[in-house]
Amino acid sequence: MADYQVILSCEHGGNAIPKPYRHLFAAHGDLLATHRGFDPGALEYAHQMAAHLDAPLLAAATSRLLVDLNRTPGRPGLFSHITRGLAAADRQQLVVRYHTPHRVRVRAAVQAAYDSGATVVHIACHSFTPVLDGRVRTMDVGLLYDPQRRIERRFCDAWKSVLQTAQPACRIRRNAPYKGTSDGLPSALRRVFAQRYVGLELELNQRFFFEDKARWRQLCDAVVHSLAATLASHDFSR
């Protein structure tokens, strides 16, 4: 079987606002604590995954409301309604100080693994709100990938099968609640690493994080162990 290296990232791990920008958020404390400020639970399971797989984790703690590290400069959603109105020079400073360094770190880690000849399995760890714009999201786990890339499609099919066997009641969807080809860090890196790059976004439903911590821990354990089992048995060369 082909050699592989796992790289983990977490773009929305926290809701911290650096001191120079706190005045912008003085009236938005409640918003920072919601899914709009960060991905609750994502950093927690990312650390668990990193420890279990002995894999590097590149995580960010600044709020997505400051600048969204999972969005490409020039694309919608990079800035929130709070920072969108800043002067162009100030918005560029946010990109330079917080957005670019994270992207550079993740890309460098992927590049190093790629240069070693390994297949790179990059998993961006996220979570999603169970209700958005009045619509209930019915899935528990989302595996986001590019269905046109065979290496990603095969791996996600295998991972879904292993996780479903371990958790028969778990509702697992591919490319939901978002499309794997939408703007995001893995999508950007696919344009750089055409071969031997498996770029996935993992999405877990925040409902369990807030409403049933025992079920949340069970789900995280199942996701982590099913990933390890899939990696151990998967042939990336096929």
Please state the domain count of the chain: 1
Q: Partners of 136 in the beta sheet?
A: 131
Has residue 128 been placed in a domain? yes
Rounded-to-integer distance, Cα 34 and Cα 118, Å: 38
Has residue 238 been placed in a domain? no
Mean pLDDT of 70-89: 96
Has residue 58 been placed in a domain? yes
Mean pLDDT of 15-44: 97
Task: Kindly state the percentage of the chain with pLDDT values over 70.
Answer: 99
Rounded-to-integer distance, Cα 186 and Cα 198, Å: 8
Mean pLDDT of 15-20: 98
Residue 77 tokens read as: 């959603």
Q: Partners of 173 in the beta sheet?
A: 142
End-to-end alpha-carbon separation of the chain, Å? 9
Has residue 50 been placed in a domain? yes
Has residue 40 been placed in a domain? yes
Rounded-to-integer distance, Cα 94 and Cα 97, Å: 5
Has residue 118 been placed in a domain? yes
Mean pLDDT (the chain) is 97
Q: Partners of 57 in the beta sheet?
A: 8
Has residue 94 been placed in a domain? yes
- For residue 238, the model assigns a pLDDT of 86
- For residue 194, the model assigns a pLDDT of 87
- For residue 40, the model assigns a pLDDT of 98
The 8-class DSSP code of residue 178 comes to S
Q: 3-state class of 159 per DSSP?
A: helix
- For residue 223, the model assigns a pLDDT of 98
Mean pLDDT of 53-75: 97
Exposed / middle / buried, residue 110 (Cβ in 10 Å: 0-12, 13-18, 19+): buried
Q: Partners of 123 in the beta sheet?
A: 8, 200
Query: How distant, in Å, are the alpha carbons of 55, 98, 194, 218 from that of 101?
Result: 20, 6, 23, 34
Strand bridging mode 119-128 / 197-205: parallel
E strands, 28-130, are 57-59, 119-128
The pLDDT of residue 1 is above 80:
no
What does pTM read for this prediction? 0.97
pLDDT in tens, 83-138: 999 999 999 999 999 999 999 999 999 999 999 999 999 999 999 999 999 999 99
Has residue 114 been placed in a domain? yes
Nearest alpha-carbon partner for 198 in 226, 159, 172, 163: 159
pLDDT in tens, 174-185: 999 999 999 999
Task: Kindly state the percentage of the chain with pLDDT values over 90.
Answer: 97
CATH code, 81 = 3.40.630.40
The whole domain housing 198 covers 4-233
Mean pLDDT of 204-226: 97
- For residue 2, the model assigns a pLDDT of 52
Q: 3-state class of 5 per DSSP?
A: strand
